[in-house]
Amino acid sequence: MAHAQSITTASIAVLTVSDTRTLDTDTSGDIAVSLLETEGHSISLREIVADDKEDISSKVTSFAIDQSIDVILITGGTGPSTRDCTPDAILPMLDSTLPGFGELFRQLSYIEIGSAAMLSRAEAGWIMKEKRRTPIFLLPGSPKAVSLALEKLILPQLGHLLDLCRSEDR
């Protein structure tokens, strides 16, 4: 039985992990912002951080304790190269994971790009700070991957996910 579509909107922090991108050249971040805003969500912060575990975890910690941020969306750093360290920085910070997100993302990616989909370390979960759960999504840095994840997985369920988090955080 499907649940009713939620009208809940979020204030979202978008973080791009890259050694080469700037806000002017961050196509994936631009796509994320556009898709989120089109669905009525607001972008409270948008930043870029280098592929460095400590820098990534420090930035995400500051986002998680910021009461104005409902959701954290990260693009980049989820591949198999030695510089790709986003999951290594973030997974130890999670209080719980949402395994279905990564599984479904890779399944949908497989349909589009074939076996290269297995190289993605896309993940999702929650960070608990000050008795508040903040959903976090780790997406690949490619524009197509960001569009796929947002359009097919995140946006259709984001309001419902926030409703659940908010009802349990009270």
Report in angstroms the alpha-carbon separations of 18 from 60, 77, 86, 146: 15, 7, 10, 15
- 74 three-class SS: strand
Tens of pLDDT along the chain (170 residues) come to 455 677 788 999 999 999 999 999 999 999 999 999 999 999 999 999 999 999 999 999 999 999 999 999 999 999 999 999 999 999 999 999 999 999 999 999 999 999 999 999 999 999 998 788 999 999 999 999 999 999 999 999 999 899 888 776 54
Phi then psi for residue 160, to 5 deg, are -65, -45
Q: State the pLDDT at residue 13.
A: 98
Q: How far apart are CA 77 and CA 56, in angstroms?
A: 10
Q: State the pLDDT at residue 132.
A: 84
DSSP class of residue 39 equals T
Q: State the pLDDT at residue 2.
A: 56
Span 12-169 CATH architecture: 3-Layer(aba) Sandwich (3.40)
Structure tokens at 113: 């790009």
